[in-house]
Amino acid sequence: MPIPFSTTSGTLPLMVDTGASDLHLKSSVPPVLRIDGMLIPQEKLPPLSTEEIEGIFVSITTPEQRNAFAKEMELDFAYTVPELARFRVSALRQKGTISLALRLVPFRVFSIDEMGLPQILKLLALKPRGLILVTGTTGSGKSTTLAAMINHLNENERRHVITIEDPIEFVHEGRKGIMVQRDLGDDTKSFATALVHALRHDPDVIVVGEMRDLETIATAITAAEMGRLVLSTLHTVNAAQTIDRVIDVFPPAQQQQIRFQLSQVLEAVLSQILLRRIGGGRVAAFEILIATPAVRNLIRNGKTFQLPSVMELGSNDGMQTLNQALADLIRRRVITREEAMMKSNDPEQLRKLLQSN
């Protein structure tokens, strides 16, 4: 019988102790941790054999999960080590062997204030209805931000919240309201199907782990139109691209109608990146688009290219561009100028912004 992975080498406790976000396990090489965004091979640990990787996989999966992996040759699931942490695990085959990537998910959901997130997230989390999108590349902290917003809602409003996730990452206990968390695979077959049935379950808030396809996006927009608050994520790099991505999923004949619907239900787009802090650790920088009447009009008329200008001038409404957020972090000596320039989507504009102040 395989020894539980949590006790085999101390690698998972090492993740927690070092503040690593990810652990990569691959045969013939030592474990590799991602710390502050950088891959750090653990050269003091021995390389793992193919048999050891197989043993680890068996020790952290159920028979049903192993059957699914044998069929699909890839698997995403959650793994919990009591009194340590939860982990989001991705398993796949490469060159005939198993490769594992584990993402650390702390037991405790940190608050918006504890993580230094923009205060406007508190107001957005308590919106009575509409669509809020948290976007960014893989590993940019979208799930953590979404969890902080759900936590704020859970602590301040009596609402029925249904989450649909792949897999469940942060576990939310019901506080003022009711929390129902559904795992894709174990509890439901698809995001779109789960969304349809969630609407019949008397929800106030629906959280969709990721809007991956036309059916899910269309149902999420419909749910927002029906008066629910819908929060979800997309893999896009800025607010304007997010709007275009949602609309472009639909056939050309439907796109004008979707522009109109989206302009009616959208409340905000939060696009984030993670940067290395001076002195260690990481910090999130946000581009924030708030659906003011002017923004709704631009979406309706297909003029998303004008959204950056509106965000730049919309500080009174809580908006900001990514470069404005980066400039603020530089001035407060949270990040270096070099780090900001590497992550900026328009370094020349950021340079001008820093010179003008």
* Predicted confidence (pLDDT) per residue in 226-271, tens digit: 999 999 999 999 999 999 999 999 999 999 999 999 999 999 999 9
- Going across the sheet that includes 38-41, the strands are 38-41, 32-35, 22-25, 97-105, 85-94, 74-81
Q: Is the model's pLDDT at 184 over the cut of 70?
A: yes
Q: Is 200 helix (H, G, I), strand (E, B) or coil?
A: coil
**Which residue is associated with the tokens 């609402």?**
159
CATH assignment, 5-105:
3.30.450.90
Q: What is the pLDDT of residue 4?
A: 46
Q: Which of the two residues, 310 and 83, has the higher pLDDT score?
A: 310
Q: List the one residue out of 188, 196, 276, 286 whose CA is nearest residue 239.
A: 286
The stretch 177-204 carries a mean pLDDT of: 93
**CA of residue 313 relative to chain centroid, distance:** 27
Considering the chain, what is the average pLDDT of its residues? Answer: 94
Q: Check for a shared fold between 5-105 and 120-320.
A: no
Residue with tokens 């002195």: 279
Q: b/e for 48-57, b at 16 or more Cβ within 10 A?
A: beeebbebbb
Return the CATH architecture of domain 120-320: 3-Layer(aba) Sandwich (3.40)
Residues 6+ positions from 176 with CB-CB distance below 8 Å? 154, 155, 156, 157, 158, 159
The domain locations on the chain are: 5-105, 120-320
The pLDDT score that the predictor gives to residue 11 is: 83
pLDDT at 185 over 90: no
Host H or E run for residue 269: strand 266-276
| Residue, of 192 and 228, whose pLDDT is higher | 228
